[in-house]
Structure 1
Amino acid sequence: MQENKVTSVKGFFLLGFQVSHNLRMFLFCLLLMIYNATICGNLLIITLVSTSKNLHTPMYFFISQLSISDILLPTDIVPNLLHILLNNGGTITFIGCMAQLYFFCIAEASECLLLTVMSYDRYVAICSPLHYVSIMTITLCVRLVFIFWLLTISFSFIYIIILSGLKFCGPNIIDHLFCDLVPLQDMACSDIFPIKLSINLLSIAFMVFPGIIIVISYGNIVRTILQISTNISRQKAFSTCSSHLTVVCIFYLTIFSVYNLPTKLQSSEVNKITSLLYTVFTPLANPIIYSFRNKDIKKAVQESLKNVFNFKLSC
C-alpha cells in the first residue's frame, strides 16, 4: 500500500495573470486608476445622499447603501491583486484567504438583497404611486437595510466557518486573481458535501429568491407602463427604473457566467477576465449608471460646489 503524501496547506499562491511584464504593468495602472475612480465616485454618492435634503428619499438611500457595497468589494480584491501583478504572483495566508472570501461574500450577497429591495421600491413607485409615501417609509428602509447587512454578515460567517473546516491539500497554487469559491473547492481533499449544501442554500436565499422577486416586480412594472396612455408619461415612468434594470442585468449575467456555466467551456484566463467585470468594473459602473446621469444628483453636485465656492469667498 502506497503512503498518502498529501499535506495540509497553510497558505496559497495566487498566479494572477501570467502575461508579459509590460502587459502586467498596463493592467496594474488600469486597475489602480479604476479603483481610485470607484472609491471617489461611490464616496461622492454617499456624501451627497447624506448632505443633500433633495436626496433624502428611499431610492437614494438604497443607492448609498449599494455604494458601500461597491466600496467594500474592490477594496477586498484590488489591493492584493495589484501586489500580484507587480510580483507576477503572490502568496496569501490561509486566514487571509478566508478573510478575503468572507468580505467578498458579504459584498456580493448584500448587493443581491439591495438590488431586490430597490426593484420593489420602483414597483411601488410606478404601480402604487399614491401609496408610495405610506409604504416606503424611512423607518422601513432603515430596518430593511439593517436586516440585510445582518443577514449577509451572519450567513457569510457561517459559510466561511464550514469552508475553513475542510482539509486543503497540495499543491497550493490557485490559478486565479483572488481566493474564490471554485478553485478552493477544487483543492479540498476532504468531503465537500457540507460546503456544496451550504452553497446551494445560500444561492437560493441570496440569488434565486431575490431574482424571482425582481422578475415579478418588473413584470408588474412593464404591465403598468404599457397601460399608460401617453408616450411622454410612459417614457418618464420607464426612465425611473431603467438604470436599476441595467445594473441588475449586468450583475446577474456576470455572476451566472462565472459560477453557472461549465468550467470546461471557459479557459482560466476567460474566468479571470469575467471575474474582473463584477469585482472591479461593476462597482465603477454602478454610480455612473445610477447617479451621474441623474438630474437630482447633478443638481446636488452643483449645489455642493456652489456652497463650497460661497464659503471660500466669505473666508
Structure 2
Amino acid sequence: MEFELDEEQRMLRRTVRETVAKVRSQPQDRQWETYRSLGWLEAPPLELALIVEELGYAADPTPFLATATWFAPLAGRLPEGSGTAVFDGAGRYVLDADRAGEVALLTPDGVTVVPGSGLGAERVDILDPHLHVAHVDTGAALAAGVPDLALTGLAATAVGACRRILDLVLAHVKQRAQFGRALGSFQAVKHKAADMHVAVERARALTHFAALTIAEDDPRRARAAHMAKAAAGECQRLVFRHGLQLFGAMGFTWENELQLHLKRAQACDLLLGTASAHRKALLTA
C-alpha cells in the first residue's frame, strides 16, 4: 500500500484548492454546479478524501460531503441532484436531509432510495450555521450501519478545517506584536503551534490510510475509518483550544474568520460519534 501521493494526486489537490478559492464567493448553487461539472463526485476514495479536505479548508456550504460520502456508498450510485443517507437507525442529525433530492435509507431489508421531498426533514440549529443538519422521520424501520466512507469524509473535512485554523493562527502570530516582538517569536507560542501541526498531520495520515483501505477493499477498512474519525476528533479539540487561545479576544468575534472553521471542525467531530465513541468502537471492530 503506497502512502506517498503521486504527481497526479498532488496536481488534483492544487487544482481543487485553486478552483475552490475562485468560486467560494459565488452563490451555493453555482459552487455546487461547478463541483458536479468537474466530476469530483466520481473520484476514487483517496482522491475524494483530498477533495473533501480542501472543501473542509474552505468551510464549503454545498451538499458535496453528504452526496459523495453518505448517499453514494449506500446507494451504490450518485443521486439525481444532491443526496444524503440515513444509516444510524434513528434518523437523527442527518447531513443535508432538508435539501437533498434523494435520500438512501438503510432498513433491515436493505437500502431504499426515496425522494427527499417526501421525508419531511426538519432542519435543526447547530453550532455551524453553514452546515445543513436535519431530523428525519421516515415512518419506517431503520437499521444501523455507517459506511466507512462517511466516517472518512467527516475526518477529512475536520482535517481541512483544522489546517485552515492553523494557517490563520500562524499568520496572526507572525504579524501581531507584544512587548516589542512578534507573538510567534515566543517559545510557548511556538510549542502550541507545533502541537497543532503534529495533530493535523497525524489525523491527515490516518484519513489517507482509511481512504486507501476503502479503495483496495482492505479488511482493515472498518478499523481504519474508526481510527481516522477518532484522530480527527482529537485533532480538532487540540487545535480548537490552542487556536482560540493564540488568537486571543479576536478569536471570539463574529467578524473573525476563525470562528467559521472552529465550528466546522467541531461539528465534524460530533456528527456520527465523537472521538471517544470511535475509540471504543475499535475494541470490537
Q: Which TM class, normalised by the smaller chain length?
A: 0.3 to 0.5
Q: Taking CA–CA contacts closer than 8 Å with sequence separation of 6 or more, which of the two structures ends up with the larger relative contact order?
A: 1
Task: Give the structure with the larger helix fraction.
Answer: 1
TM-score, structure 1 length as denominator? Answer: 0.33
TM-score, structure 2 length as denominator? Answer: 0.35
Task: Give the structure with the larger strand fraction.
Answer: 2
Higher-Rg member (1/2): 1
